[in-house]
Structure 1
């Protein structure tokens, strides 16, 4: 592993190397891994210790609970202390964020697990508290970078994780010393859509940035405004609630459906398509939300060929929908509603200032240098696994344990693609990776329905513990396979 040069605070780092502090942590953690392997009667020297990464896929609360159950069983088998990196996307990050609230959670996992189960099964975040959090997001951020991620983190994710977690990643990590190194993964929306640049974006306790490009900024400075590689305006560090936002797992309540129909209607009019079906759908839902008291006047037939008039019509129509929704949620200030509608119309997720803006560096794709802001989305919208973060060459990973809680196994599907791109992308991939798929055997279809990705938040203790038990059995059934893969990884590392 190669460490970076010392970095000045508030400056962009462009290097294919590990952050200096990550390098120091890895050295300490490898000593702990050596002791754990010795306890498993795997005797080796310090230089032979393999670098093992554990991945958690997306899958909403199913992924959160499934990862927790898997980690509990890994601890019971003595394998958890052999893990160097823990990386997740989407629902798995909900579990990670909960775990890392407790210093050295991996040594007290039973206690931490019970606390998480109690919270998921009994706690509740009130709408008043959730809205207060949304207002805080709105007041802290520049208007340019307020997005739907702020809205759904405050108003929806809180209903799943049953808390408002205002810890930051850097503050959270200051208390840690014995746990695997966490990596959270998202994607750059522009790079994904245009198939250029580098879509893979990672957050660690020390740095946030583009995994393949090797362009990073201190995590505490992510979201701040940069110009030519230097920070020029502070924004508060994003908190763990924001980092857990996951639009792929949302249930479709009536209010959410109205907003989605409104987005589709704006797009239809923009493209000259008849919006009448969407208009009727919106009116039906608003009628239901308002207890049968229809408020909006009947729509007039618009001339779609007159773009200016159609745009003016939709601006007024959007305002009318806002007024109707505001009768249901009268405590929402108009300025916040207006910003939310704007974000919906433009489909703005995860917008933050681009810390690479106006830099002049040939090592960075030009598309990452040009815009003032970038949009970041749940990685599950591209590939539902964070494997790119651990396949960085400088992390020198010897073994990947991939836990899949999604509809299909994303790691198996993409492993060959990663190997094919390894040379050009500075990645290191190994076929010896142990890919574990915690499917539910004979009752798989029944389990899929019970624990669907879009299911409303779990509240039943038995439902949570049953899912944890199944995930744990998957680890137990694969214990011998894992040990075998560790032996192979040791041979690779020599």
Structure 2
């Protein structure tokens, strides 16, 4: 409008104007009316457009820089990291701020298997004092369950982890038959109705979130993502980052997907450089302004979103003990079973389950934001522009009413993308891989995006017989982090610690299948011990990576290159 320019916020700089949505509407109406009678009022229109173009007074933060809260966190965290690095590397002098490398612990998904292995890996890193060396801890899918449990405790990384591991053991090994008791079903129905009344759009993923709550806790869990700020407010723990992807209804994840990151401070799109406060996620926005605030979702709903059950198989494993009738399949669905009776309660639950089972929908905070003409040329945007739809502004997410979120495992089983934002300047990534089947780390995606990442070169024979840890260091690629890759394998552990046990850790026919929701106590214990052992047995490679990163920071400081 008004000379072909948009009335929506853009990236142009300018003074902030404190205009409420109501006042803005009145002023807009005035200018339309005035322009009809006085066509020469171009100067007035330009002033109004300049006020509207400022992003400083919006409820959506536009920009690719880290938010102020995260920057403050990094300053506080450095004292823990500097002390820990001096200790583990046995340095004679204290590290200066510009000599401290940014270390991140990155996990992958895999249901209860990844929940269990994350505990084991962190236990090993805790014993090596390496958790205190890390700035970030990222996760998706089942590892988010472990992270959400840990970050209830404001000082979890400063304490013995055995208590939390034993608490998780109780829930992983408990009988899951109560998941669909009549009492629980009434609870699910009540919670879903309440969520809908609050203004959220409910789906089968919300039901799954409530089931996850039962699987991992003794009762209702009121914990929220923003509550985790207490666990990082003094820099006492690594900053948690959770990852999901946004998709479109009529396109596969290969054709369209957008990375969405969640921290205790913000939720946002890396591609657009658009972020909102974590407590506002799910509320209604328009043109960058918060129009209707909805209650912040409990963490169990986000856990359901970040681990969408795939094709109903996880649900099927929970409830296989009941002989339930098989429903007719839609063309895009795989065979699954659900419980159905004539009661209104079960009809509500059946309606939730038989919807598209992998997508959680939230009000889009990008709604109404039109992109500036130069936005598509922005280097930061192009970093995550990976489909043909990204070349057409009208195909991007700001036109959608809702976000459609799924587990990132539907595309790549990784939580690495937030760590590859250049603003975070990550120097070392401990890649803790808990995938089933093929565990070959794929860097093809990052290469295609032009994102600096180490080249992973493994022979076919090496891929078939993976070792416990690999160190990949591509020093010739500027900006590429040092990568420590830990596959989920039982290599020397079976020879030195537990002969004959855990012969097929990530095999789908093993007790640790992605779709297994209950473990035997001995299976849980062995998996924790295995992943702890794999970390401790490769201490030398971890220390080598940390020492190399410190030396490079010092060399860069000295020579400026």
TM-score range, shorter chain: 0.7 to 0.9
Structure 1's 373 and 424: CA in aligned 2 closer, same or farther, altered over 3 A? farther
Q: Deviations over 1:256-294 (max 9, x none)?
A: 8999964733769xxxxxxxxx9xx89xx78xx7xxxxx
1:28-427 correspondence runs (5 A): 28-40=76-88, 41-42=90-91, 43=93, 44-108=95-159, 109-122=161-174, 127=181, 128-129=183-184, 131-141=186-196, 145-155=201-211, 158-159=214-215, 164-176=220-232, 177=234, 178-190=236-248, 193=252, 199-245=258-304, 246=307, 247-248=309-310, 250-253=314-317, 262=327, 264-265=329-330, 325-327=340-342, 330=343, 332=345, 334=347, 336-337=348-349, 339-340=351-352, 344-347=354-357, 349-362=359-372, 363=375, 366=393, 367-408=396-437, 413-422=441-450
Q: With a CA cutoff of 8 Å and minimum separation of 6, indicate the structure with the bigger relative contact order.
A: 1
Tell me the distance in 1 between the aligned counterparts of 2:426 and 2:194.
42
Hey, what's the Cα distance between the residues in 1 that align with 2:325 and 2:261? 29
Q: Which residue of 2 aligns with 1:468?
A: 528
Q: Is the 8 A contact 2:284 2:294 kept in 1?
A: yes
**Residue aligning to 2:482:** 432
Q: Hey, what's the Cα distance between the residues in 2 that align with 1:338 and 1:122?
A: 25
C-alpha displacement at 1:465, in angstroms? 1.5
TM-score by length of 1: 0.78
RMSD of aligned residue pairs (Cα, Å): 3.4
* Contact kept in structure 1, 2:287 and 2:367, CA below 8 Å: yes
Aligned pair in 2 of structure 1 residues 54, 9: CA closer, same or farther (>3 Å)?
farther
* Cα distance between partner residues in 2 of 1:463 and 1:10: 51
Question: Structure 2 vs 1, CA of residues 429 and 184 (structure 1 numbering), >3 Å: closer, same or farther?
Answer: farther
| 1:160/1:457 contact within 8 Å kept | no
Contact 1:197 1:368 in 2 (8 A): no
Q: Number of aligned pairs? A: 432
More helix by share: 1
Secondary structure of the corresponding residue to residue 395 of structure 1 = coil
Taking a change above 3 Å as real, the CA distance of residues 88 and 254 of structure 1, as seen in their structure-2 partners, is: closer
Query: How many angstroms does 1:10 deviate by?
Result: 7.2
Aligned to 1:454: 515
Q: 1:9 to 1:428 in 2, by over 3 A?
A: farther
Question: Post-superposition shift, 1:401?
Answer: 0.4
User: Greater Rg, structure 1 or structure 2?
Assistant: 2
Tell me, which stretches of 5 or more residues in structure 1 are unaligned? Answer: 269-277, 290-324
Q: State the Cα distance separating 1:432 from its structure 2 match.
A: 2.3
